[in-house]
C-alpha cells in the first residue's frame, strides 16, 4: 500500500473517530472551570462562537483543528509542559468570557478522559432546560401541589410568612410557593384558634387581587371546627396567573356558628 493511500486511510479513520466521539459539555459562568488536557496529545475545545482572543496561554499550543480552513470555534490544545494548571481566558466573538483552568495530565491518565469538550455558557444551559421542560397544565400543577410533588420547570420555595386574615380567631401562613412561567402556585395554612367559633371556607369565592388572578383553588376542609378539635387546620391551595402576588389573596373565611354551651343552648 502506497504512502498516499495509507495517509488517506488514516485520515478517514480519524474523521470517523472524531464523529463518533462523545463530547463532554462544560458550562462556564463567572467562575473558573477546569478542563483536563493531555500532554503528548490533542484535546479539542468546541465553542458556541468563534474565539477572538486567548490570554495566558503560553504553556500551550492552541490552534484551529483544521488549519487549512480554520474554524476558531473548534480549537486544538496541546500542552508544552508535562504538568501544571493554568487559568486561561477565552473571549468569544459575542463578548462572552470563558475562564478555563487547563490542567495538564499524562497520556496514561488522558486515556480515560474525553478527547472533546463542548464549552458552553450557563445561559445556554438554562435555555436548553427551558426548551426541554414539558408544559405543565393548571390541573397537573394543582395535583402536584396537593401531593407535595416536584414539578418540572417550577422553582419551589418554603417562606413561612404569617399573613393577616382579618380575624383574631384565625391564623394564616403562606408555607409554599411554586413559581413557573405559566402559573404561580401558593399553599396557605389556615388555622382556627378560637375555642368557640366555627368557620366556613368557600374556595369558590376566593378573590386574588383585582382583576381576580386566581385560576383554581382547593382546600382539604371546607369547615374549620373549633381549636383542638382535630379539624381546626387546613391547607388552601391556589393556582394563579404568573402576575399574582401572595398578599393579594382575600380569603373566603366566615363565621358559621359558635360552639354549643352546656345544656344545648347557643350563644
- 127 vs 216, which has greater pLDDT? 216
Rounded to 5°, angle at Cα 18 from 12 and 20: 105
pLDDT of residue 94: 92
d(CA 26, CA 65): 19
Give the N- to C-terminal CA distance of the chain in Å, as an integer. 109
Q: CB-side exposure of 50: number of CA atoms within 13 Å?
A: 6
80-117 pLDDT per residue, tens: 999 999 999 999 999 999 999 999 988 777 566 668 99
pLDDT of residue 57: 93
Pick the CATH number of 22-129 from 3.40.50, 2.60.40, 1.10.20, 1.20.120: 2.60.40
Q: In CATH terms, are 22-129 and 138-258 the same topology?
A: yes
- Inter-residue contact 246 to 254 (CB < 8 Å): no
CB within 8 A of 66, min separation 6: which ones? Answer: 74
- Inter-residue contact 107 to 38 (CB < 8 Å): yes
What cell numbers appear for 251 in the block?
380569603
What are the Cα distances from residue 123, in Å, to 27, 30, 54, 215, 244?
9, 11, 21, 32, 27
pLDDT of residue 151: 86
Confidence of residue 56 (pLDDT cuts 50, 70, 90): very high
Which residues on neighbouring strands pair with residue 51, listed in sequence order?
92
CB within 8 A of 192, min separation 6: which ones? Answer: 169, 170, 198, 199, 224, 225, 226, 227, 232, 233
CB within 8 A of 209, min separation 6: which ones? Answer: 244, 245, 248
CB within 8 A of 119, min separation 6: which ones? Answer: 26, 28, 35, 45, 46, 47, 48, 90, 98, 100
167-197 pLDDT per residue, tens: 888 999 999 999 988 899 999 999 999 988 8
Nearest to 180 by CA among 198, 200, 154: 154
Mean pLDDT, the chain, rounded, equals: 82
125-153 pLDDT per residue, tens: 777 766 665 678 888 899 999 999 888 88
Q: What does the domain layout of the chain look like in residue ranges?
A: 22-129, 138-258
Name which CATH class applies to 138-258.
mainly beta
Amino acid at each position: 500500500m502506497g504512502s498516499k493511500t495509507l495517509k488517506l486511510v488514516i485520515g478517514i479513520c480519524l474523521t470517523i473517530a472524531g464523529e463518533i466521539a462523545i463530547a463532554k459539555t462544560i458550562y462556564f459562568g463567572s467562575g473558573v472551570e477546569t478542563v483536563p488536557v493531555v500532554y503528548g496529545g490533542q484535546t479539542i475545545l468546541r465553542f458556541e462562537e468563534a474565539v477572538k482572543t486567548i490570554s495566558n496561554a503560553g504553556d500551550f499550543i492552541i490552534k484551529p483543528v483544521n488549519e487549512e480552513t480554520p474554524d476558531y470555534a473548534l480549537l486544538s490544545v496541546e500542552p508544552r509542559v508535562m504538568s501544571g494548571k493554568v487559568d486561561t481566558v477565552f473571549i468569544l466573538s459575542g463578548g462572552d468570557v470563558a475562564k478555563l483552568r487547563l490542567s495538564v495530565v499524562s497520556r496514561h491518565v488522558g486515556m480515560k478522559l474525553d478527547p472533546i469538550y463542548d464549552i458552553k455558557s450557563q445561559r445556554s444551559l438554562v435555555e436548553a432546560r427551558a426548551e426541554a421542560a414539558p408544559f405543565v397544565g393548571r390541573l397537573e400543577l394543582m395535583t402536584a401541589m396537593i401531593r407535595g410533588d416536584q414539578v418540572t420547570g417550577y422553582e419551589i420555595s418554603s417562606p413561612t410568612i404569617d399573613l393577616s386574615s382579618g380575624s383574631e380567631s384565625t391564623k394564616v401562613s403562606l408555607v409554599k410557593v411554586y413559581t413557573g412561567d405559566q402559573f404561580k402556585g401558593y399553599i396557605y395554612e389556615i388555622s382556627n384558634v378560637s375555642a368557640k367559633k366555627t368557620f366556613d371556607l368557600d374556595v369558590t369565592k376566593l378573590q386574588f387581587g383585582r382583576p381576580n388572578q386566581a385560576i383554581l383553588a382547593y382546600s382539604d376542609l371546607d369547615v374549620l371546627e373549633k381549636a383542638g378539635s382535630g379539624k381546626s387546620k387546613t391547607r388552601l391551595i391556589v393556582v394563579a396567573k404568573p402576575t399574582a402576588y401572595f398578599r393579594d389573596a382575600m380569603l373566603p373565611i366566615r363565621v358559621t356558628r359558635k360552639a354549643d354551651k352546656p345544656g344545648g343552648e347557643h350563644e
